[in-house]
Chains A and B, each alone.
Chain A
């Protein structure tokens, strides 16, 4: 009886869909007010609601065809601010994909879409 119960519980455990932990979220970003222009390197500011462990976080530029390119990032002057350096881009649609590890131990993934204009 106990084995049956345990087996059933394990089955249920297996059946659970994966979870997403999302405590650290982007509350603001400079692309909202400052569009990104083509052909020169740009800095994008991201503001988070909690402290982010930058050494354990990754930010990617995603271009057409979902090609990923790792972006260099540093901590900004304000709390929870990260500054990302985006290389010169051609006109088109892009996204910044984030994988950030928050100080509370949660890993978050997010995507910010933007358009590079002349």
Chain B
């Protein structure tokens, strides 16, 4: 139960940031981009209604997330400490600050719902909303991890809030662009709105990104003091992932900006209406993942505090070092024999069998994925359209079935079909085994969905969209995934492979999404990048080596 509570606690952090971006980003959108009081004729009441709806919905969800966070903490502490955490918990900053922030967020959301919603063109009401939001924004400073530190506490609190504000301005603005496009697609807003607000957002987005970079660099210098800390710790690794994701999002943002500039020069709106919306959708995937990564980063010990547990760059590189995949598994008996010593606290004995068992599982899964993605890449060749044998490569998702069978047999050594514990007994009496069974089922489901999507000729089917959404979610899971029971250095050396796969999963998702949405030849390029990312995931798995523990 502690694992589930801990996991939800980490997820709720990302959800909290999404709601914050939605609420505060929408506020900035109204105040600085729409400015509806000055241009009432350009923005119709429906657009204003939808814009404001995102603001108060973001606020109400944020309040709910904040309250749920407190409940989760209580649950987590009750489970881990094996006792009711009150009255001690009632006196903590997390409890008091969490309640205050919940109340202030409710005040903001209620004001927007009860007042601003009825006066969407009133400058006074928009400014008042900003003033009402201010205490909620400031109250967040006591809930971030800088608040618990001893050095430069107020500096860290101030710049973390500033960093969050800048991120909310950018990401909330992208959410509003998606909202605007949905209205534009249904022709519920004027045609001029789309290029006008895209152009305004381009400038606003640049300012937000500069603010993110400025505050981010200042904070990084407080938490990471060496290059090795940047490369060889979980904190540095997640920061590197954030930088990669930001570069990815900025690449997509650049395509949008170029389209706006081209539209202003030529008046041709084709790209603006047929490509930019999908770039923005893909950017949304990236930014949501970025927010979850940011939440995950906050749960890592800063590199500056664990200098003695930092991996060297050679150790990090060694994680990706090409080597012959392990195709021989230790025996099941050897694995079980080493388990008692491995999990002991006193007289702990590292289990070579456990490490080799894990290596084998990862390496073979990698072989499946590289083979599948190789055929997937072949399916994009011109030859696949003309040669019926090469054309069979489009059935590559069948590989998911084989992977599912492999996982079914190998996931749980102590359970049926390899171990002594029966199928039903192991499935319903052990949470971890249940998770593995569900994962196996999911791999089969993914295979069915993607195979059907690739083979089916239905042009308007939404089934193909399932795969990229699940891939993005899978990437998000990998990026927020840590390992229990390891020393920080071992955990990091495992984490570094998982986060790399997380980034490739996101590229896989964005590529497939754009393939399904864009026109030819861009869709084929995006599709090829997508399966090439899957190939990279396979390579990482194929060379995976777990530290001995």
Seen from chain A, the residues whose Cβ lies within 8 Å of a Cβ on chain B are 1, 4-5, 8-9, 11-25, 27, 49-51, 53, 55-56, 58, 62-66, 79-80, 93-95, 97, 99, 101-107, 109, 111
B7 touching A16 by the CB < 8 A rule? yes
Interface locus among B36-44, B87-95, B328-336: B87-95
B484 touching A23 by the CB < 8 A rule? no
Shortest Cβ distance from A79 into B: residue: B150
A18 touching B470 by the CB < 8 A rule? no
- Answer whether residue B350 sits at the interface, using C-beta atoms and an 8 A cutoff: no
Nearest-neighbour CB distance to chain B for A92, whole angstroms, equals: 8
Given A94-B346, A104-B145, A104-B148, residue A16 in contact with residue B477 (CB < 8 A) = yes
Give CA–CA (A27, B150) in the complex, Å.
13
- Find chain A residues with CB under 8 A from B88 CB: 53, 55-56
Give the interface centre of A9, A15, A95 by most chain B CB atoms within 10 Å. A15
- Find chain A residues with CB under 8 A from B94 CB: 103-105
Give the interface centre of A17, A64, A66, A103 by most chain B CB atoms within 10 Å. A17
- Find chain A residues with CB under 8 A from B93 CB: 103
- Answer whether residue B192 sits at the interface, using C-beta atoms and an 8 A cutoff: no
Seen from chain B, the residues whose Cβ lies within 8 Å of a Cβ on chain A are 2-4, 6-7, 9-11, 69, 73, 76-77, 80-81, 85, 88-89, 91-94, 143-150, 298-302, 305-306, 344-347, 434-436, 438-439, 441-442, 445, 462-463, 466, 469-470, 473-474, 477, 480-484, 488, 491
Nearest-neighbour CB distance to chain B for A28, whole angstroms, equals: 10
B482 touching A19 by the CB < 8 A rule? yes
A49 touching B305 by the CB < 8 A rule? yes
- Find chain A residues with CB under 8 A from B144 CB: 104
Nearest-neighbour CB distance to chain B for A113, whole angstroms, equals: 8
B306 touching A21 by the CB < 8 A rule? no
Shortest Cβ distance from B73 into A: residue: A105
A97 contact from B76, B145, B345, B442, Cβ within 8 A: B345
A21 contact from B9, B344, B346, B438, Cβ within 8 A: B9
Shortest Cβ distance from A103 into B: residue: B148
- Find chain A residues with CB under 8 A from B462 CB: 1
B438 touching A17 by the CB < 8 A rule? no
A12 touching B442 by the CB < 8 A rule? yes
Give CA–CA (A18, B7) in the complex, Å.
5
Give CA–CA (A59, B254) in the complex, Å.
52
Nearest-neighbour CB distance to chain A for B345, whole angstroms, equals: 5
B345 contact from A25, A58, A111, Cβ within 8 A: A111
A107 contact from B7, B80, B481, Cβ within 8 A: B80
Nearest-neighbour CB distance to chain A for B199, whole angstroms, equals: 33
B445 contact from A8, A25, A63, A102, Cβ within 8 A: A8
B150 touching A50 by the CB < 8 A rule? yes
B484 touching A20 by the CB < 8 A rule? yes
- Find chain B residues with CB under 8 A from A106 CB: 145, 299
B463 touching A1 by the CB < 8 A rule? yes
B89 contact from A4, A56, A97, Cβ within 8 A: A56
B300 contact from A22, A66, A79, Cβ within 8 A: A22
6 closest A-B pairs by CB: A18-B3, A103-B148, A55-B88, A50-B148, A104-B145, A49-B305
B299 touching A8 by the CB < 8 A rule? no
B346 touching A23 by the CB < 8 A rule? no
Shortest Cβ distance from A22 into B: residue: B301
Shortest Cβ distance from B484 into A: residue: A20
- Find chain B residues with CB under 8 A from A19 CB: 3, 6-7, 9-10, 299, 480-482, 484
B346 touching A107 by the CB < 8 A rule? no
- Find chain A residues with CB under 8 A from B474 CB: 12
- Find chain A residues with CB under 8 A from B77 CB: 56, 101, 107
B299 touching A22 by the CB < 8 A rule? yes
- Find chain B residues with CB under 8 A from A111 CB: 345
- Find chain B residues with CB under 8 A from A51 CB: 148-150
Give the interface centre of B69, B298, B480 by most chain A CB atoms within 10 Å. B298
Give CA–CA (A8, B10) in the complex, Å.
20
Give CA–CA (A93, B477) in the complex, Å.
38
Nearest-neighbour CB distance to chain A for B145, whole angstroms, equals: 4
Nearest-neighbour CB distance to chain A for B64, whole angstroms, equals: 17
Shortest Cβ distance from B498 into A: residue: A17
A50 contact from B73, B149, B306, Cβ within 8 A: B149
Shortest Cβ distance from B79 into A: residue: A107
Nearest-neighbour CB distance to chain B for A19, whole angstroms, equals: 5
B435 touching A17 by the CB < 8 A rule? yes
Nearest-neighbour CB distance to chain B for A34, whole angstroms, equals: 18
Contacts A12-B477, A20-B483, A99-B80 known; 5 new A-B pairs at CB < 8 A: A62-B345, A66-B344, A94-B346, A104-B148, A109-B80
Given A15-B438, A49-B301, residue A4 in contact with residue B81 (CB < 8 A) = no
B345 touching A66 by the CB < 8 A rule? yes
Given A19-B6, A51-B148, A56-B88, residue A64 in contact with residue B346 (CB < 8 A) = yes
B346 touching A63 by the CB < 8 A rule? yes
- Find chain B residues with CB under 8 A from A103 CB: 92-94, 147-148
Give CA–CA (A103, B94) in the complex, Å.
7
B470 touching A12 by the CB < 8 A rule? yes
- Find chain A residues with CB under 8 A from B435 CB: 14-17
- Find chain B residues with CB under 8 A from A53 CB: 88, 92
Task: List, sorted by A's number, 12 A–B pairs whose CB atoms are closer than 8 Å.
Answer: A5-B466, A8-B445, A11-B445, A14-B435, A19-B3, A19-B480, A22-B301, A49-B301, A53-B88, A56-B89, A80-B150, A102-B148
- Find chain A residues with CB under 8 A from B73 CB: 105
Shortest Cβ distance from B2 into A: residue: A18
A49 contact from B302, B439, B441, B466, Cβ within 8 A: B302
B347 touching A64 by the CB < 8 A rule? yes
Give CA–CA (A50, B344) in the complex, Å.
28
- Find chain B residues with CB under 8 A from A9 CB: 469-470, 473
